[in-house]
Amino acid sequence: MAAQVFNTMPFSLLYHKYMIPVSNEVTSMVLSYVEEKTNGRPLDMALDVGCGTGRYTLPLAPHFKKVLGIDICDSQINVAKRYNTANNVSYMVASAERLPVENNSVDLVSSGLAAHFFTIDKFVNESVRVLKTNGCLAAHGYHPSSEIEYRDLSHGLNTVMSEMWDTLCQQAYTTGLSEAADHMLNQYHTIYETIDLKDKKWIKDIPVKYQMSISEIFGFARSLCTCQILLEKNEKEAKQLLAQTDKSVPFGLLTLLPATLHRPGKRMRDILGEEADSAQLNFYIKHYCVLACKH
C-alpha cells in the first residue's frame, strides 16, 4: 500500500518539498555510532534503504567512499537522482527485503523514516548478510504526534494538531498500514526486538525542534502517505468542496478531508489571527533510533 502511494511523480515531488527536514541530531547519532564501532577505520560503503528522495542519503556522502540509496519506488529514485546527488552517491530501485549488494560488503545499512514499511525479519536478515564485521545497522523514524509552542496560543494549536494526528493514525489502521503505525507508535521497539544481534541499542524520545510556518506544518501533513490515501479515497467529496479551499494550505487539499479533520489549517489560522502568515512556530517531533553492530 505505502509503496503504491509513493510511486507517482507528483507525490514524490510534494514529499521532497514538504516532509519534515532531515534531523541532524539523528544523523550525527548514527555516524558517531559507526565511528565508535569501526574504530575510525576508513569506511567504504553505506546503504540507505527506503531512501525516498535521498534526503537522508546525501548527508552520508562525506563519511563513506560510496553511498548507495535504494527504494522500491522509481518516482522516489528519480527525484533523488535529480535533487540529492554527489560524485560518490548512486541510487537504484530495489527492495529492502532483497538488498542488491554482496555479503560482507557494507559498513552501514541505514534506513530513515522507512523501516516501518518493510517486512522486518527479511530486512534484518538481509542487513546482517550484507554487513561487514563491525558494520552497523541503523533504523530511525519519528513518532506520529507533535508539540507546538507559540506564545500563549500553544494549547489551542496543539488541540487542532492532535485531532489531526488521531485521524491520520485511524486512517492507517483502516488502510492496511496498521503494522507501520504500530512500529511508529512503539518507536521501533518491535524492530529492535527483531534484530538478532547482541550488540544493539534502542534510543527513544529524541526531541527534535523545527521552526515552521503554518503552511510548512500542513505541507508536512500533506506529505504523509496516510493523508494521501485519505485524499484519494475522498476524491469525489474533495472535488465538490474545491470551492472552499483554504489558501493557507499547500495544494489546497487538506481542507478537503472529512469532517473529522475539520479544516485544521483554517482553525489554526483563526487561532493565530493576524499573525497566521508570519508566525514561525516551534514544532517538536520526537524521533527514535535503533542501532546494532554485527560482530
Ligand X SMILES: C[S@@+](CC[C@H](N)C(=O)[O-])C[C@H]1O[C@@H](n2cnc3c(N)ncnc32)[C@H](O)[C@@H]1O
For ligand X, give the closer residue by CB, 95 or 167: 95
- By CB under 6 A, name the one of 27, 38, 84, 95 that touches ligand X: 95
- Interface size with ligand X, residues (CB under 6 A): 22
125 to 28, 120, 131: CA distances (angstroms): 25, 8, 10
Q: Which stretch binds ligand X (CB under 6 A): 34-42, 72-80, 162-170, 279-287?
A: 72-80
Shortest separation between residue 56's beta carbon and ligand X, angstroms = 5
127 forms part of the interface with ligand X (CB under 6 A): no
- Contact (CB, 8 A) for 124 and 194: yes
Q: How many angstroms separate the CA atoms of 155 and 220, rounded?
A: 20
Interior CA angle at 180 toward 233 and 34, to 5°? 135
Q: How many angstroms separate the CA atoms of 188 and 289, rounded?
A: 8
6 forms part of the interface with ligand X (CB under 6 A): yes
250 to 15, 168, 216, 223, 283: CA distances (angstroms): 12, 18, 8, 10, 18
- By CB under 6 A, name the one of 18, 67, 99, 112 that touches ligand X: 112
Residues 178-207 that bind ligand X (CB under 6 A): none
250 forms part of the interface with ligand X (CB under 6 A): no
- By CB under 6 A, name the one of 37, 55, 143, 267 that touches ligand X: 55
73 forms part of the interface with ligand X (CB under 6 A): yes
For the purposes of burial, counting CB atoms within 10 Å of the CB of 173, is it exposed (0-12), middle (13-18) or buried (19 or more)? Answer: middle
Tell me the residue nearest to ligand X as measured from the CB.
52
For ligand X, give the closer residue by CB, 2 or 157: 2
For ligand X, give the closer residue by CB, 157 or 291: 291
For ligand X, give the closer residue by CB, 83 or 202: 83
For helices 154-174 and 225-233, the axis angle rounded to 10 degrees is: 70
118 forms part of the interface with ligand X (CB under 6 A): yes
For ligand X, give the closer residue by CB, 144 or 264: 144
Shortest separation between residue 30's beta carbon and ligand X, angstroms = 12
- By CB under 6 A, name the one of 113, 257, 261, 290 that touches ligand X: 113
- Cα end-to-end span (Å), the chain: 35
Q: Which amino acid is at 278?
A: S
- By CB under 6 A, name the one of 14, 67, 72, 227 that touches ligand X: 72
126 forms part of the interface with ligand X (CB under 6 A): no
Interior CA angle at 30 toward 74 and 96, to 5°? 30
56 forms part of the interface with ligand X (CB under 6 A): yes
For the purposes of burial, counting CB atoms within 10 Å of the CB of 234, is it exposed (0-12), middle (13-18) or buried (19 or more)? Answer: middle
Q: Which residues of 174-192 are buried (b: 16+ CB within 10 A; e: fewer)?
A: ebebebbbebbebbbeebb
- By CB under 6 A, name the one of 18, 45, 52, 120 that touches ligand X: 52
Give kind and range of the element (H or E) at residue 139: strand 131-142
Shortest separation between residue 107's beta carbon and ligand X, angstroms = 18
Q: Which residues bind ligand X (CB under 6 A)?
A: 2-3, 6, 19, 50-53, 55-56, 71-73, 76, 95-97, 112-114, 117-118
